[in-house]
Amino acid sequence: MKKITILLTLLIVISVGFLSGCNEQVTKEEAPIIKFFTATPSIIVLGNSSVLNWSIDKATSVSIDNGIGNVTLIGPYTVVPEESKNYTYTLTATNLYGTNTKSIILYVIMPNQNIIENTTCQNRGFQLGSRACSDDKNYQICGYYNGSECLDWGPMIPCSECIMGNCIDIYSPAQDTQFWSILLTYTGYEDINRTIHLKNLLLNGGWQEDHIRTLAGEDATYNNLLEALEWLRDNSDSNDVIFLSLNAHGNEGYMALTDNSLAYSKLAEELNTVKYGGMVIIPNACFGASSIPFLEKENRVIMWSQEGMSTLWDALSGFGDLRGDNNDWVSAEEIYMMKNFYCTKNNLTSIIYDDYPGELNLLNLNGYWRYLDQYNSNDSLFTSGYGCSVGAIKEKTDTWVAQGFIPNLPILTKVSLNVIKHGNPGPLTLSIGDNLSGSDLTNITIQESHFLPEIEELTDFDFPDIDVVPGNTYYIIVKAPQAIQNNGDFNYYTITASHSTNQSDDHYTHGDLFRMNDPFQTHGFYYTDLEFYTLGKLN
């Protein structure tokens, strides 16, 4: 089914008049499709929040119960439950041809309450027809429910993985499916590093290096792109997935490369000779939306927005799936969901053409976010783009930051931060402490060479595991101890953060940000928090 979604968020559009809102063209007599509906995290301590996310096709109205009401076709929505109990949220999607529903459960526990292990999760009182993990690799379906507990569990059924009582069915592509990509960047700003970063994200997601072609800066020529498309034609098959990220200047009907312009009609002609099972095209150029009438075809997803590359990086880092269906894969639809969310927040326009049935999965996360505990998500990118500096910002000043947090899980395994390197600040050290002046509970140092210059990178600080007490306050402390000012040049790291001017907009309410400017004074920044993610485990 051919469909185009257009989001208008600019109140005044001079050259193109789109309709306000998000519109789906329903061309077949089909009931709405609920691609996913999730809660992240699915288990929270009372007082914390969870983000509901969803993606719907072909609906004319969408609503969620429990006091939420009517919503748009794409999430998210943040909930802060007021009681310690299990909350069931039911999403209802309707059009002229029918109604579909999907329900999810959010578990709200008290501080210091033990999280029930997988082996006992079937005793939670799941209703008739519900499923629960019986061990790490199997689940059972409740056959008889007496009103308070399940008295008859069915036979064990294999599932991909059981996490905290939830059976996770992990998508696995067909054995003969291969993934191919052309990454082109010609914008005049850090073209090579931006392309390397995007390639590294694909490699981290299991892509093969010889299946990725990069054309950056002066290499982004007309002939080189045609040669790369010929490479696709020679290698890709009808079961394969192709990802084209084309970042360049452009105008109506064409993209400007290093030495020449490429008409979208010519690009369509070349792509129509390539075999594929699914194809994702992101023409990130001025007037890139004008490519869609030329490129639209069966089993393709084409998206364009006014926000650039940052949300693509974030989505492929794992936030796409974290905000999406949590199936351990980042899909094209989840990438667009993040672009759409950013554009909504910033009064920009985004467009998607989606002719792929279901979700077109691009990148495997290998369980990365399964044990996410505390986090202040990248909503900061959708508000102020604020950042905190670590290192030599002023002469003889050692600036470092600390972020408070309260864990739910009893073992802390890893912290992830978004980091940007400026100049030559030396190694970056992250430590965990239970106060700001005592000794470290654990720490890890990453060398400067790990970071690309002027590129925001989600960075894992995988320190030795430590035991923590759920409900107690701990601190993530970030320093660049060898950073110095050199001939007037500042050498430092930026750790991205969220910032607001009033308490009601505080992004993370269970810890504060502290910044040390000199050996004698620590400043607390209320309503500002680092963008951070802590991961843990039960035992």
Q: Per-residue pLDDT tens for 67-124?
A: 999 999 888 898 999 888 888 899 999 999 999 998 888 877 776 554 433 333 333 3
Q: DSSP per residue over 372-439, as a string?
A: EEEE--GGGGGTT--EEEEEESSTT--BEEEEEE--SSSEEEEEEEEEEEES----EEEEEESSSSS-
pLDDT tens digits for 159-173?
Answer: 555 554 455 555 566
- In sequence order, what are the beta bridge partners of 458? 418
**pLDDT score of 20:** 30
Cβ(481)–Cβ(503) under 8 Å? no
**pLDDT score of 274:** 96
CA distance 68 to 62: 11
- In sequence order, what are the beta bridge partners of 22? 7
Hunting for tokens 């009601």 — which residue is that? 504
**pLDDT score of 5:** 46
Q: Quick one: fold of 372-537?
A: Jelly Rolls (2.60.120)
Q: How many other CB atoms are found less than 10 A from the CB of residue 413?
A: 16
pLDDT tens digits for 407-416?
Answer: 988 899 999 9
CATH number for domain 179-309+349-364, candidates 3.40.50.720, 3.40.50.1460, 3.40.50.1820, 3.40.1160.10: 3.40.50.1460
Q: Which residue has the higher pLDDT, 165 or 58?
A: 58
- 234 Cβ contact partners less than 8 Å away, ≥ 6 residues apart: none
pLDDT tens digits for 367-380?
Answer: 777 678 888 875 43
Whether 404 shows a pLDDT value over 60: the answer reads yes
Q: Which residue has the higher pLDDT, 258 or 18?
A: 258
Distances in Å between the alpha carbon of 467 and those of 78, 406, 412?
30, 13, 6
**pLDDT score of 89:** 93
Whether 16 shows a pLDDT value over 60: the answer reads no
Whether 523 shows a pLDDT value over 90: the answer reads no
pLDDT-based confidence at 142, cuts 50/70/90?
low
Could you give the percent of the chain with pLDDT greater than 90?
38
**pLDDT score of 371:** 76
pLDDT tens digits for 178-224?
Answer: 999 999 998 876 778 888 989 999 998 889 999 999 999 999 999 99
CA distance 149 to 146: 6
7 CB-side CA count, 13 A: 25
In the chain, where the domains are located = 116-163, 179-309+349-364, 372-537
Hunting for tokens 């470290």 — which residue is that? 440
**pLDDT score of 306:** 86
Distances in Å between the alpha carbon of 109 and those of 65, 120, 163, 256, 513?
21, 16, 17, 55, 26
Q: Which of 252-256, 304-308, 343-347, 499-503 has the weakest average pLDDT?
A: 499-503
Mean of pLDDT values over 59-66? 94
pLDDT tens digits for 374-399?
Answer: 888 754 343 345 678 888 876 556 78
Q: How many angstroms separate the first and last alpha carbons of the chain?
A: 47
Cβ(133)–Cβ(165) under 8 Å? yes
Q: Which residue has the higher pLDDT, 490 or 333?
A: 333
Whether 293 shows a pLDDT value over 90: the answer reads yes
Q: Which residue has the higher pLDDT, 239 or 37?
A: 239
Whether 225 shows a pLDDT value over 90: the answer reads yes
149 CB-side CA count, 13 A: 6
User: Looking at beta carbons, which pairs linking 305-308 to residues 24 or more positions away fall under 8 Å?
Assistant: 305/339, 305/340, 305/342, 305/343, 305/348, 305/349, 305/350, 305/351, 306/343, 306/348, 306/349, 306/350, 307/339, 307/342, 307/343, 307/346, 307/348, 307/350, 308/284
Mean pLDDT of the chain: 79
Question: What is the amino acid identity at position 523?
Answer: H
Whether 444 shows a pLDDT value over 60: the answer reads yes
Phi, psi of 152 (to 5 degrees): -140, 105
Whether 405 shows a pLDDT value over 70: the answer reads yes
**pLDDT score of 508:** 79
Phi, psi of 399 (to 5 degrees): -100, 130
pLDDT-based confidence at 501, cuts 50/70/90?
low
Cα radius of gyration rounded to whole Å, the chain: 24
